[in-house]
Amino acid sequence: MTDDLIIAKTTAFVKVTLQSAEGGHDWFHIERVLRNSQLIAKEELVNSLTVQLAALLHDIADAKFNNGDERLGPSIATKFLNSLEVPKAISNHVVAIIENISFRSNLENSDKIFYSKELAVVQDADRLDAMGAIGIARAFNYGGFKNRTLYDPEISYIQNISKSQYKNSTAPTINHFYEKLLLLKDQMNTATGKKLAESRHAFMLAYLKQFMNEWNPLDVSQKDSI
């Protein structure tokens, strides 16, 4: 089977599987991550098939929508790739990327168990989609999906959040910016990813300042606190 046919079949599989997914983790999220991956990969020496398959399958069964089961996504991906008779080396690589790509999986894990240039590319692409205008939209979409408060001045964000705290959080959506989204710029792997992250990070900072000004226009101290 040609690489193009493998990608076409994988695309069709992902579209069907995620047709009822939450709006921030649906097919359009996958498509954006795929495009970002292809853009970043232009400047990196990577295996194109591995990058594209990992981008397409990285959220095939996100743990947060499956009772925290972190093995389901890799298991589904493995079975699907085996059904297409994708070479074992590529299949194993794609699954390893899926297992290690998330922000959650990297908490409390300073010494990465697995690393590859392909992981670096797809991880940067996924992180970019959590930043900027789209990242803001996704954050509030998920917050609405979980019926979370927009913001509560009485609930502080957690610095150096642990994996268990992150997984079990029910905090207001604004806290998510400080616990994850604003940290992503300094966690990018590739030169292209770092460059693209700069403007998205700046946009989020500007948004948060505007949000706080609108939340309490009488509190002058808020205006320069972000």
Q: How many angstroms separate the CA atoms of 1 and 81, rounded? A: 12
Confidence at residue 220, expressed as pLDDT on a 0 to 100 scale: 57
Q: How far is CA 128 from CA 2, 105, 217, in A?
A: 30, 17, 31
Q: How far is CA 89 from CA 14, 40, 70, 86, 133, in A?
A: 21, 22, 22, 8, 37
For residue 158, count CB atoms less than 10 angstroms from its CB and return exposed for 0-12, middle for 13-18, buried for 19 or more.
middle
Confidence at residue 77, expressed as pLDDT on a 0 to 100 scale: 95
Confidence at residue 133, expressed as pLDDT on a 0 to 100 scale: 98
Q: Which of 88, 66, 91 is nearest to 77 (CA)?
A: 91
| Residue pLDDT, tens place only, 179-216 | 999 999 999 999 999 999 999 999 999 999 999 999 98
Range of the domain at 205: 3-224
Confidence at residue 214, expressed as pLDDT on a 0 to 100 scale: 96
Confidence at residue 221, expressed as pLDDT on a 0 to 100 scale: 56
Confidence at residue 162, expressed as pLDDT on a 0 to 100 scale: 83
Q: Say how many domains are in the chain.
A: 1
Q: Which of 61, 101, 104 is nearest to 79 (CA)?
A: 61
The pTM is what?
0.90
With a CB cutoff of 8 Å and minimum separation 6, the contacts of 41 are: 48, 51, 121
Q: 113 or 35: which carries more pLDDT confidence?
A: 35
pLDDT tier at 167, thresholds 50, 70, 90: confident
Structure tokens at 146: 């979980």
The mean pLDDT of the chain is 91
Report the first-to-last Cα separation within the chain, whole angstroms.
52
**Is pLDDT above 90 for 160?**
no
Q: What percent of the chain has a predicted confidence (pLDDT) above 90?
A: 76
Three-class secondary structure of residue 85 per DSSP: coil
| Residue pLDDT, tens place only, 74-119 | 999 999 999 999 999 999 999 999 999 988 767 666 556 799 999 9
Q: Are 178 and 185 in contact (CB under 8 A)?
A: no
Confidence at residue 198, expressed as pLDDT on a 0 to 100 scale: 98
pLDDT tier at 224, thresholds 50, 70, 90: low
CATH of the domain at 80: 1.10.3210.50
**Is pLDDT above 80 for 25?**
yes
Q: Are 155 and 139 in contact (CB under 8 A)?
A: no
With a CB cutoff of 8 Å and minimum separation 6, the contacts of 109 are: none
